[in-house]
A = this chain, B = another copy of it.
Amino acid sequence: MEISGFKRKTRQREVILEELHRVKDHPTAGELHERVRARLPRISLGTVYRNLERLAGAGEVNKLEFAGTETRFDAVTKPHYHVRCTACGAVDDVKEIEEELIGGSFRELGGYLVQSYRLEFLGLCPNCRRTADS
């Protein structure tokens, strides 16, 4: 069974996945490219993009598309929500919400067959809150 769609195992993909698992935050493709390049100096940004795209398709990484900003990637594939800081752009996981918030509540909306939804919180991160207290 060819679930993943990958026909070859490559060092590049291996290291990309390793580094993504190693970081706690949600790096952009560019940031991840930087990290991976420390170990594989000749790897290209295109390769990072291509692998992340296919890994996301295979369900091995989570592709976080936020409105108005770069796409970020996450090694945690279990669905969860995010908060993004409107000041500095930091992205964190929301741990307080475990269960589905609205999932299942809406099967159909305005004739649309609802498949999923995107929920994203915006606010000030702890650091920026402190700075804002000036």
Contact with B along A67-110 (1 / 0, CB 8 A): 11001000000000001011000001111110001100010011
Q: Which residues on B sit within 8 Å (CB–CB) of A119?
A: 102, 117-120
Q: At the interface, yes or no: A129 with Cβ under 8 Å from chain B?
A: yes
Q: How many copies does the complex hold?
A: 2
Q: Which residues on B sit within 8 Å (CB–CB) of A111?
A: 125-126, 129
Do residues B123 and A112 form an inter-chain contact, with CB atoms below 8 A?
A: yes
A contacts, CB < 8 Å to B:
65-68, 71, 83, 85-86, 92-97, 101-102, 106, 109-126, 129
Q: 7 pairs across A/B with beta carbons < 8 Å?
A: A83-B114, A92-B110, A95-B110, A101-B102, A102-B119, A109-B123, A113-B124
